[in-house]
């Protein structure tokens, strides 16, 4: 691209470093900012700078937080005996927005993936084991992706926790609510038949 | 969305002000920045701040520029007698990247659009008329979008310039190079048959 301004070129090149944003999109975004009041761009860059300078990971659950210990971990309303293990902060947000979980979280920071060179030591697994060891935990809920990497990580964690006297559960996998059977993939549908549950159990928590 | 951090929420909310970027994408971008070295976020916000603080519109052609008069307008290699009229700076970049134009530009800053409330007074049309009036201009090339708004703007400019002794041209409209006829829309194909040109003329500038 032929830029008539070095400043514009710099801004576009920095913007296009973001994932999924190519040069053309970056140019569109930057030209949009140029058409807005200068304050908008300043608000954006201030918010980003503030975030990277002051954000903290909760020392207990590794969730993004403004304080040393996050709001969920300090809340007196949450059941500290139930820990939900998730891959990253987006999963915390997704589960929180369901309003169905009242325990606390433990963010691994990814999942075991030999292809991407991520081993168990790069994840927050040892701190989870320590937490289980030194606190009264009754249940660990494994809520990782339903992929091979997720399953591997699940199994690794299970192996490290099986000697403790706790219940280790995993979130239910099956046909999505609202999905028609004919559009469900074969693996999911097959599993959901093999792992069928008693009908009276299926309606217990809903009614 | 339930954010565990006010800083994160601010950053996501500012990022999602950009066109085509929703809350989810904004969250993805912000979390990506958090995983990168802090310098990347600083480079981005600095580049944006520098741009909005120091960028100038060329006083002659209204293109984005680092100086009062842009590089194209000051270049001794460009033919100052031929002015190509475009909507915005992206069109300048598009035409420049073809390497086929050696004149100078005039950026209107949009096109006449009653629907969006943009009238001729909000565009850089009077400065174009002044330029034609006070300089030796031989040709004005109208290179606006092939839409109703583009055509309206073309006609408006034509009406204001027709009394000057200059050639007013418009870029050729027809079947795109490399396109198969059957996939060309009917209006374009119809026009390109009505406005057919002598074959020997069509190859004159290519061979």
**Tens of pLDDT, residues B136-194:** 899 999 999 888 899 999 999 999 998 899 999 988 888 888 878 888 888 888 888 88
- In chain A, list all ranges with CATH 3.40.1360.10: 76-171
Which pLDDT does position A143 carry in this prediction? Answer: 92
More confident residue, A187 or B21: B21
- In chain B, list all ranges with CATH 3.40.1360.10: 77-171
- ipTM, 2 dp: 0.77
User: How many H helices and E strands in chain B?
Assistant: 9, 6
Give CA–CA dist A63/A186, Å, rounded.
35
Using the beta-carbon criterion (under 8 Å), do A89 and B15 form an inter-chain contact?
no
Distance from CA of B86 to the nearest CA of A (A): 15
More confident residue, B17 or A199: B17
Residue whose entry in the numeric block shows the structure tokens 């996998």: A173
Which pLDDT does position B185 carry in this prediction? Answer: 85
Q: Which of B129, B126, B138 is nearest to B168 (CA)?
A: B138
Which pLDDT does position B205 carry in this prediction? Answer: 65
Which pLDDT does position A104 carry in this prediction? Answer: 94
Question: What is the topology classification, in CATH, of domain A76-171?
Answer: Dna Topoisomerase Vi A Subunit; Chain: A, domain 2 (3.40.1360)
Nearby residues of B207 by Cβ (< 8 Å), 6 or more positions away: none
- Altogether, the residues listed in chain A come to a count of 207
Question: Which residue of A4, A29, A50 is in closest CB contact with B64?
Answer: A4
**Using an 8 Å Cβ cutoff, are A14 and B43 in contact?**
yes
Q: pLDDT tens-digit profile of A121-164?
A: 999 999 999 999 988 899 999 999 888 899 999 999 999 998 89
Which pLDDT does position B126 carry in this prediction? Answer: 93
Using the beta-carbon criterion (under 8 Å), do A54 and B13 form an inter-chain contact?
no
Give CA–CA dist A155/A96, Å, rounded.
25
Q: Is the pLDDT of residue B42 over 90?
A: yes
In this structure, the dihedral spanned by the alpha carbons of residues A157, A175, A193 and A154, taken in order and rounded to 10 degrees, is -10
Q: pLDDT tens-digit profile of B59-91?
A: 999 999 888 999 899 999 999 999 999 998 889
Q: Does B94 touch chain A (CB under 8 A)?
A: no
Using the beta-carbon criterion (under 8 Å), do A2 and B93 form an inter-chain contact?
yes
**Using an 8 Å Cβ cutoff, are B66 and A6 in contact?**
yes
pLDDT one digit per residue (tens) for chain A, 207 residues: 778 888 999 999 999 999 999 999 999 999 999 888 999 999 999 999 999 998 888 999 999 988 899 989 999 999 999 999 999 888 998 898 888 899 999 999 999 998 989 999 999 999 999 999 988 899 999 999 888 899 999 999 999 998 899 999 988 888 888 878 888 888 888 888 888 888 777 777 665
Q: Kindly report the CATH number that applies to the domain delimited by B77-171.
A: 3.40.1360.10
What end-to-end distance do the CA atoms of chain A give, in Å? 60
Distance from CA of A79 to the nearest CA of B (A): 17
**Using an 8 Å Cβ cutoff, are A44 and B15 in contact?**
yes
Q: Does B6 touch chain A (CB under 8 A)?
A: yes
**Using an 8 Å Cβ cutoff, are B3 and B12 in contact?**
yes
A:B CB pairs within 8 Å: 168
Q: Does A7 touch chain B (CB under 8 A)?
A: yes
Would you place residue B200 in the very low, low, confident or very high pLDDT band (cuts 50, 70, 90)?
A: confident
Q: Which residue of B has its CA nearest to A18?
A: B29
User: How many H helices and E strands in chain A?
Assistant: 9, 6
- In chain A, list all ranges with CATH 1.10.8.420: 6-54
Please say whether the dihedral angle defined by the alpha carbons of residues B189, B98, A2 and A12, taken in this order, is positive or negative.
positive
* Interfacial B residues in 97-136 facing A (CB < 8 Å): 97
Across the range B93-106, mean pLDDT stands at 90
Q: Which residue of A has its CA nearest to B38?
A: A52
Let me know if domain A6-54 sits in CATH 1.10.10.10.
no
Can you read off the two tokens belonging to residue A46? 């201030």
In sequence order, what E strands does A135-176 have?
139-142, 167-170
Among A16, A18, A34, A72, pick the best mutation site for testing chain B contact (most B Cβ within 10 A): A18
Q: Does B3 touch chain A (CB under 8 A)?
A: yes
Using the beta-carbon criterion (under 8 Å), do B34 and A64 form an inter-chain contact?
yes
């Amino acid at each position: 691209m032929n830029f008539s301004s070095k400043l514009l070129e710099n801004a576009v090149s920095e913007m296009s470093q973001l994932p999924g944003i190519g040069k053309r999109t970056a140019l569109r975004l930057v030209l949009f900012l140029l058409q807005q009041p200068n304050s908008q761009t300043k608000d954006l860059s201030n918010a980003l700078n503030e975030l990277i300078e002051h954000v903290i990971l909760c020392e207990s659950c590794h969730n993004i937080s403004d304080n040393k210990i996050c709001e969920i971990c300090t809340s007196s309303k949450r059941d500290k005996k139930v820990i939900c293990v998730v891959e990253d902060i987006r999963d915390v947000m997704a589960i929180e927005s369901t309003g169905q979980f009242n325990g606390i979280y433990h963010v691994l920071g990814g999942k075991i993936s030999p292809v991407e060179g991520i081993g168990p030591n790069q994840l927050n697994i040892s701190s989870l084991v320590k937490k289980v060891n030194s606190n009264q935990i009754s249940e660990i809920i494994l809520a990782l992706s339903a992929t091979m990497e997720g399953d591997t990580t699940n199994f690794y964690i299970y192996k490290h926790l099986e000697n403790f006297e706790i219940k280790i559960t995993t979130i239910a996998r099956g046909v999505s609510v609202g999905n028609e059977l004919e559009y469900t993939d074969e693996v999911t549908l097959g599993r959901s038949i093999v792992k069928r549950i008693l009908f009276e159990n299926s309606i217990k928590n809903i009614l």
